[in-house]
Structure 1
């Protein structure tokens, strides 16, 4: 098996942590998201999401080729891509308003929890993507879960800043 594919798919071995490798992968994405944002703001976060998706798709295809298991638990690059997607609203807000992104810590917690909720329960389109049973489905279900989590972060921020905390 291709060593680079394994390194990417397992996010440097994070996917071998037990229990709950998907949660470990999501947690690993948080400092990566912070680093990408600090280095290049929202534009670099967008690039990071796209790059993690594309590299993850390639690595997942390589790792699952000729395998009956289309989604081995050690593949967690999909969680990284999805979690970075969930962080996009925070990165955009911090970048556009020139805020320290760590001041938005409640949003980080919400993004993490919502992403894990949608990734685990697989509602609607998340489940549809997961049922593809191929490398694209492995990556796509987490991207959709990340998009749902991002929408949830926006809704919670609007409720908090527009009404609850006022």
Structure 2
């Protein structure tokens, strides 16, 4: 069971890539998010994200049991969940209005960059969640970073399409 949890928490070993395993975890999430969106649109993306959050909580708990380090860098399933959340503002309008999601490519870049920035810098509640020192904190800081990144994507889209009229 521990080996399965390790494979899951490291996203099939992606968490062992160096440098910056969190960035690698976020990067491999982009084709996953695309695939989920193409298979079932926004509803499937949300359901898969929720399932991965619950599953990731279990896998992280198993991997960190008995360790001093509550958030080893090889655990990247939390980045997967956070990055998927950052993609919500792209998936929903594409699904709702029948837009080709690849046409929203600037949003993909923004979602990736903003998520990585919030995950690395850990401002406000992201840092507070990270300091919990348990599996929930490991997952929760990336969930919040994903929400912040999603909000940033919405603001940037509003600026680009509303203010700039692009």
After TM superposition, the score normalised by the length of structure 1 is: 0.98
Residue 3 of structure 1 is matched in structure 2 by 3
- The aligned residue for residue 132 of structure 1 is 132
Deviates more, 1:76-85 or 1:48-57: 48-57
* Structure 2 equivalent of residue 97 of structure 1: 97
Return the alpha-carbon distance in structure 1 between the equivalents of residues 122 and 104 of structure 2.
27
The answer on 1:31 being equivalent to 2:36 is: no
Counterpart CA distance in 2 for 1:48 and 1:115 is 18
Task: Quote the Cα distance in structure 2 between the aligned partners of 1:95 and 1:42.
Answer: 6
* Cα drift, residue 155 of structure 1: 0.6
The 3-state SS of whatever aligns with 2:87 is helix
Q: Deviations over 1:103-141 (max 9, x none)?
A: 100000000000000000000000000010110000000
Q: Distance in 2 between matches of 1:142 and 1:106?
A: 22
Name structure 2 gaps, 5 residues minimum.
none
Using the alignment, how far apart are the partners of 2:149 and 2:50 within structure 1? 17
Corresponding residue of 2:61: 61
What are the residue-to-residue correspondences of 1:118-157 with 2, within 5 Å?
A: 118-157=118-157
CA distance in 2, matches of 1:20, 1:51: 25
- 1:44-69 deviation line (CA, Å, top 9, x unaligned): 00011101111100000000000001
Distance 1:15 1:83 in 2: 15
When the two chains are superposed, the root-mean-square deviation of aligned CA atoms in Å is 0.8
1:47 corresponds to:
47
* 1:158 corresponds to 2:148: no
